[in-house]
Chains A and B, each alone.
Chain A
Amino acid sequence: MNANASLIPKLVALAIVACVPLSGESFYIEMVGKVLVMAIFAMSLDLLVGFTGLVSFGHAAYFGIAAYAVAILSPEYEAASLWYVLPASVGLSALAAFVIGLFVLRTKGIYFIMVTLAFAQMAYFIFHDTPLGGGSDGKYLNNKPSASIFGWEPFDLTNEVHMFYFVLAVLVLVYLFLARVLQSPFGRVLVGIKSNEHRMQSLGYYTFRYKLGAFTLAGALGGLAGFLYAVLSGFVTPELLSWHESGNVLLMVILGGMGNLAGAIAGAFAFEAMREIFADITKYWQLLMGGVIVAVVLFLPGGLAGVPGRIKRALQGGDAK
């Protein structure tokens, strides 16, 4: 782990992103803000897929549950307190992840992929079919939460620049938090489970508890991203929980190279950039997107993140394998 060597590029990237509001263009501020939210979401999934080896195909559920929680918990005509709706919505996502984790972690491999997908679909139908969150029409969040504490207001989320920096600050905190978690004994066990779960079990670790911990934490952080999304866009729909969202975030993690937190952030930017560029070229952008995905899997095992290594090996003239 040469964290220090790669620190400078990360700080440069952070500084560049932090300059976006200086443009004064609402369009860019909101767009980059949404990408930052997706980056947090991708990091939360990377904890499962990249570090613990659990390929969850239903991560959008936790994103959507927290997003709906803000919209439902906020009163219609006044702003809710940020210090109440934020922990409440993240807590609900964590609770959902804990309960679903009890079921899905009993399964492995292909089963795990299908069962996480099925539970996410169940959450989707709860919001889609019942009047709880406005059914298939979704629900507006009319008033963004207020950050005031006993009358003092440190920042104002209705201000787009404040909102942007709030999201950016959360992203940095989540990154530092996950980096710390992965250095802890808990994180080491997760990485151990990824490389060989039986070995960890024979070493005496009750791996189910560790996996459940990771699943709950990932759900909570995915919920944090969902919370930010709802506040940023002011609108929630059942589509936030759809399996296309779960697929997209998985794609971000893979584009960035699994098991790499900074990579997950880069993957979110790469995915959104690809989507924007393809949508510019043709309204049939899904065709290009699908083609790129298929080509990456067939010709670039290891994702885009493996490309520099391949070029290096090719230049060294050795056997590329």
Chain B
Amino acid sequence: MDFASFLIQTLNSLQYGLLLFLVASGLTLVFGIMGIINLAHGSFYMIGAYLAFVLTSATGSLVLAVVLGIPLALAFGAFLEWALFSHLYKRDHLEQVLLTYGLILIFEQLRSLLVGDDVHGVAIPAFLDASIQLTEVMSYPVYRLAISAICIVLAVALYYLIQRTRLGMMIRAGNDDRGMVEALGININMIYRVVFALGVALAALAGMLAAPISSVFPNMGSHVLIISFVIVVIGGIGSVWGALVAALIVGFADTFGKVLVPELSGIVVYVVMAVVLLWRPEGILKKG
């Protein structure tokens, strides 16, 4: 592998890992804070991608689609938390698995009813539709760099939100001890709703950003869901920074796995997970 292709694969790994972080961070927060296993989280990624497709077709611009799509995703998340997930907090994990599995069936079928089962492409915004020439034959698309940049900005914003704001303090406190937070007079149910809506919006945004690269297709959420599970397991449940580290590990393992051992590329990520489990059954960073 020469330097230029190594550079390209490294940038791809970063971009893929950072995108996965957007999905996994919401998942790990919902696990850690609410104790809920949410199989439907991958569907939010799928819904985001389809929102990007539908809104881009309607408005003619992906940027406009994202601007319109994020409030929609936030509202959708808050609604789901109110209507369904708020009833699950005291149930056991099995019932959570069931309900969210049922939701996947519903979301996929609605997607099929509303948009159909065809694969669709989404156009890259014109001002990002360019490539940087690396060598005479190899170049790197600006859009992928833009995705990485957006994800880094969001990761920093998330860090600020959780570590430096009052809301973040409440979220961290809820992660440690729900009863104590309630005793201090904080409305924990409102915190849950905000966190859940945030998780849905992050996953949907990841889907919107990925839509031009991966195109939009049925069941696109399930692969992302399972990879996000792996990330949460590697990173440690409830740990956003664990999720970031794990997402980058998975991004590199998957991308370089595809280049170096194409036939085994599907399982490289799971092997990494198995090794981490042997080494630290609770994940790289424990919750906190």
> Contact between A110 and B265 (Cβ–Cβ < 8 Å)?
no
Instruction: List residues of chain A with CB within 8 A of the CB of B102.
Output: 289-294, 297
Q: Per-residue 0/1 for A277-321: is the Cβ within 8 Å of any B Cβ (1 yes, 0 no)? A: 000000010110111111011100100000000000000000000
Among A119, A126, A247, A293, point to the contact of B266 (Cβ < 8 A).
A126
> Contact between A117 and B229 (Cβ–Cβ < 8 Å)?
yes
> Contact between A286 and B108 (Cβ–Cβ < 8 Å)?
yes
Please report the C-alpha to C-alpha distance between residue A110 and residue B102 in the assembled complex, in whole angstroms: 18
> Contact between A118 and B237 (Cβ–Cβ < 8 Å)?
no
> Contact between B274 and A247 (Cβ–Cβ < 8 Å)?
no
Q: Does A128 contact B (CB under 8 A)?
A: yes
Q: How far is the CB of B287 from chain A (nearest CB, A)?
A: 12
> Contact between A125 and B266 (Cβ–Cβ < 8 Å)?
yes
Q: Per-residue 0/1 for B183-224: is the Cβ within 8 Å of any A Cβ (1 yes, 0 no)? A: 000000000000000000000000000000000000000100
Q: Does B226 contact A (CB under 8 A)?
A: yes
Please report the C-alpha to C-alpha distance between residue A121 and residue B281 in the assembled complex, in whole angstroms: 19
Q: Does A193 contact B (CB under 8 A)?
A: no
> Contact between B266 and A250 (Cβ–Cβ < 8 Å)?
no
Q: Per-residue 0/1 for B230-249: is the Cβ within 8 Å of any A Cβ (1 yes, 0 no)? A: 10110001000000000000
Q: How far is the CB of B47 from chain A (nearest CB, A)?
A: 15
Q: How far is the CB of A197 from chain B (nearest CB, A)?
A: 15
Among A16-24, A25-33, A101-109, the one that faces the other chain is: A101-109
Among B87, B229, B271, B281, point to the contact of A114 (Cβ < 8 A).
B229
Instruction: Look across to chain B and name the residue whose beta carbon is closest to the beta carbon of A126.
Output: B267
Q: Does A189 contact B (CB under 8 A)?
A: no
Q: Does A269 contact B (CB under 8 A)?
A: no
Among A113, A130, A289, point to the contact of B264 (Cβ < 8 A).
A130
Given A122-B270, A290-B106, A113-B97 contact (CB < 8 Å): yes
Instruction: Look across to chain A and name the residue whose beta carbon is closest to the beta carbon of B113.
Output: A284
Q: Compute the total of residue contacts between A and B using a CB distance below 8 Å.
A: 122
Q: Does B139 contact A (CB under 8 A)?
A: no
Instruction: List residues of chain A with CB within 8 A of the CB of B106.
Output: 286-287, 290-291, 294
Please report the C-alpha to C-alpha distance between residue A113 and residue B97 in the assembled complex, in whole angstroms: 9
Among B12-20, B61-69, B88-96, the one that faces the other chain is: B88-96
> Contact between A107 and B281 (Cβ–Cβ < 8 Å)?
yes
Instruction: Look across to chain B and name the residue whose beta carbon is closest to the beta carbon of A122.
Output: B270
Q: Does A137 contact B (CB under 8 A)?
A: no
> Contact between A49 and B94 (Cβ–Cβ < 8 Å)?
yes
Given A109-B93, A110-B37, A284-B112, A294-B99 contact (CB < 8 Å): yes
> Contact between A55 and B94 (Cβ–Cβ < 8 Å)?
yes
Q: Does A206 contact B (CB under 8 A)?
A: no
> Contact between A113 and B93 (Cβ–Cβ < 8 Å)?
yes
> Contact between A293 and B267 (Cβ–Cβ < 8 Å)?
no
> Contact between A103 and B274 (Cβ–Cβ < 8 Å)?
yes
Q: Does A174 contact B (CB under 8 A)?
A: no
Among A106, A289, A298, A301, point to the contact of B281 (Cβ < 8 A).
A106
Among A115, A290, A292, point to the contact of B277 (Cβ < 8 A).
A115
Q: Does A254 contact B (CB under 8 A)?
A: yes
Q: How far is the CB of A156 from chain B (nearest CB, A)?
A: 39
Interface residues of B in 245-288 (CB under 8 A from A): 263-267, 270-271, 273-274, 277-278, 281-282
Among A55, A106, A126, A287, point to the contact of B109 (Cβ < 8 A).
A287
Please report the C-alpha to C-alpha distance between residue A238 and residue B267 in the assembled complex, in whole angstroms: 14
Q: Does A129 contact B (CB under 8 A)?
A: yes
Instruction: Look across to chain B and name the residue whose beta carbon is closest to the beta carbon of A284.
Output: B109
Instruction: List residues of chain B with CB within 8 A of the CB of A83.
Output: none
Given A110-B93, A118-B226, A293-B105 contact (CB < 8 Å): yes
Please report the C-alpha to C-alpha distance between residue A128 and residue B232 in the assembled complex, in whole angstroms: 24
Instruction: List residues of chain B with CB within 8 A of the CB of A126.
Output: 266-267
Q: Does B156 contact A (CB under 8 A)?
A: no
Given A55-B93, A126-B266, A243-B226, A290-B232 contact (CB < 8 Å): no
> Contact between A251 and B98 (Cβ–Cβ < 8 Å)?
yes
Please report the C-alpha to C-alpha distance between residue A268 and residue B19 in the assembled complex, in whole angstroms: 39
> Contact between A293 and B99 (Cβ–Cβ < 8 Å)?
yes
Among B87, B91, B113, B273, point to the contact of A118 (Cβ < 8 A).
B273
Q: Does B31 contact A (CB under 8 A)?
A: yes
Q: What are 24 residue pairs bridging A and B, where the CB atoms are less than 8 Å apart in the complex? A: A55-B93, A106-B281, A110-B37, A113-B97, A115-B273, A117-B229, A118-B226, A119-B274, A121-B270, A126-B267, A129-B263, A129-B264, A243-B226, A247-B101, A254-B94, A286-B105, A286-B108, A287-B106, A289-B102, A290-B109, A294-B103, A294-B106, A296-B98, A297-B98
Closest A-B pairs by Cβ, 8 of them: A125-B266, A293-B102, A290-B105, A122-B270, A290-B106, A297-B99, A287-B109, A114-B229
Residues on B lying within 8 angstroms of A by beta carbon are 31, 35, 37, 84, 87-88, 91, 93-95, 97-99, 101-106, 108-110, 112-113, 222, 226, 229-230, 232-233, 237, 263-267, 270-271, 273-274, 277-278, 281-282
Given contacts A114-B37, A294-B99, 14 further A-B contacts (CB under 8 A): A57-B97, A103-B278, A110-B35, A113-B37, A114-B230, A114-B233, A115-B233, A117-B226, A118-B233, A119-B274, A247-B101, A290-B105, A297-B88, A297-B98
